[in-house]
Amino acid sequence: MILAELQVVAVLAIAFYLVRWRKSVRSRNGQSWETLLARLRSDWSASDLSDHFLWEEGLSATPDDAWRRMEGPHGLWAIYQNACVMQEMADFAAKNCPEVDRLLVETLHSDAVQIRVCVLMAMAQYGFAQASEGVRINAYRAAVMYTGMAARMRQLLQDNAGAMVPDFVAAM
């Protein structure tokens, strides 16, 4: 009797999850460019970490310097959220621009996943050891990947939708 009730509850929970997931996919697919730009976090920018942010990959800061400039977990969380939004922007460009470079879009997807994993590792380490060397190194790795992703996103937009580049640069 209890086993049957648990099965019903499990099936209902899975069905509820799938309905919510489908609704979120629909709302994400229906977003406009302006909505995506508005979701970028502008309260923190990686421009302090790189002299050529959005134009080239790489940082001009050391791991300790980067940790200080990114304001610790605040900057890490902004990197995490902006990586998700840039992934959705790449999907938007792929959907609305017929001749988009599919390899570049897949690279942006890979970057977003790697950034999120790196940020989550750094945040978990930060929770246990505050600003230890491992936290600063993971934060630095996330920042390097983030600047590379932002530069590739700018390149994707410049190649396929040049009119969107100024809005993207201003939002970052």
**Residue located via tokens 């790697």:** 114
Of all residues in the chain, what percent are helix, strand and coil, respectively (each to 5)?
80, 0, 20
Nearest Cα to Cα of residue 84 among 41, 23, 127, 148: 41
Q: Write out pLDDT tens, residues 22-68.
A: 887 777 667 887 888 888 887 877 777 776 677 767 677 778 888 88
> Which stretch of 27-31, 141-145, 146-150 has the lowest confidence by average pLDDT?
27-31
**Residue located via tokens 């100024």:** 166
* Contact between residue 166 and residue 157 where contact means Cβ atoms under 8 Å apart: no
**Prediction pTM value:** 0.76
For residue 82, give the amino acid letter.
Answer: N
Report the pLDDT value the prediction gives residue 155, as an integer from 0 to 100. 85
How far apart are the C-alpha atoms of 38 and 32, rounded to whole Å?
Answer: 10
Q: Which helix (H) or strand (E) covers residue 67, if one does?
A: helix 63-69
- Binned at pLDDT 50, 70 and 90, residue 116 comes out as very high
Mean pLDDT of the chain: 83
